[in-house]
Amino acid sequence: MTAATGRERYVVHLTVAADDLPAARLLARAIGRSLAFLPELVLGETTVSEEGAPDAQHQVFCDRRLGGRRRCVRRVDHAGGCTS
C-alpha cells in the first residue's frame, strides 16, 4: 500500500532488449517520453538492468526535484541545468 493513498500500487515491468547500457538508456528514454502523456507514468523511476542481473539497475532520468511537483526529465548524467 502507498502511504499517500492507502491503496495498493502495482508496477508494470516491460522487457525490451538492447545491445548495451547506452542503447538501453536511449531506448528507455524514447519509450518514456512517448508515453509521458499517461498520468500513471513515473519517468524518474525508469531504470534499465542487464539481463539476469535485475539487482544492478541503472537510472535513466535525472529526476532531481525542481520545486512543486516538477522533476528533471533530462538523462541521468546530463551536463548543465535541469529542466522539467
Q: Are 40 and 53 in contact (CB under 8 A)?
A: no
Q: Which three cell numbers stand for residue 24?
A: 538501453
- pTM (2 d.p.): 0.74
CA 75, 77, 83, 84 dihedral sign is positive
| Segment (H or E) for 27 | helix 21-34
State which residues of the chain have pLDDT below 70. Answer: 1-5, 54
41, with CB counted inside 10 A (0-12, 13-18, 19+), is middle
